[in-house]
Homo-oligomer: A and B are copies of this chain.
Amino acid sequence: MYTIRVDSEPFDPNHEVDLLRGEDPAIGAVVSFVGLMRDLNEGERVERMFLEHYPGMTENALEQIVKQAFERWQLQACRVVHRVGELKPTEPIVLVAVASAHRKEAFQGCEYIIDYLKTQAPFWKKETTENGERWVDARDSDDQAIRQWSADGS
């Protein structure tokens, strides 16, 4: 039981978590990750951000990632929402919320999904700073993060 949404309008992570909880009254534990747009990146003030994506493939990629998490851990429900288009500082970029009967599985499922989303889902960030526009570079630490999921058997 999962919901995936790519949204060009601002969304409320709290509302999404409420919807997740509402899906199943037996839910006992929810782990959620919220990524927010900061107004400062690499020392420069960021005025706004544009999030480009690959319509169709993005949804497919997110669905594959979520399905893999459901195969690997016993999850009750999951909700992934990712913003696209024009964003202002402090707006939510992404929510990953996972419910499970066991908190360890909820933590692992949630972290797995955001780790793979960061390296496998076709989104690209472009920032507008006081010095103009720039594409955000991918980070090596994100590639390292997914390696743990093939290395450890947990």
Contacts and interface: CB of A to CB of B under 8 A. Distances in A.
Contacts of A31: 31-33, 110
A26 B14 contact: no
Contact of A29 (B21, B34, B106): B34
Interface of A: 13-14, 17-18, 21, 25-40, 89-90, 102-104, 106-107, 110-111, 114, 141, 145
B33 A29 contact: yes
What's the dominant secondary structure at chain A's contact region?
Answer: mixed
A33 B103 contact: yes
A103 B107 contact: no
Contacts of A36: 21, 27-30
18 contacts: A17-B34, A21-B90, A25-B38, A25-B39, A26-B38, A27-B36, A28-B37, A29-B34, A29-B36, A31-B31, A31-B32, A31-B33, A31-B110, A32-B34, A33-B106, A103-B111, A104-B111, A107-B111
Which of A34, A37, A111, A141 counts the most chain B CB atoms within 10 A? A34
Contacts of A27: 36, 38
B21 A28 contact: no
A30 B40 CA distance: 17
Nearest to A37: B28
Q: For the complex of A and B, list the 9 residue pairs with the smallest distance between their C-beta atoms, beginning with the closest.
A: A14-B14, A28-B38, A30-B34, A107-B111, A32-B32, A31-B33, A28-B36, A29-B35, A26-B38
A153 to B, nearest CB: 14
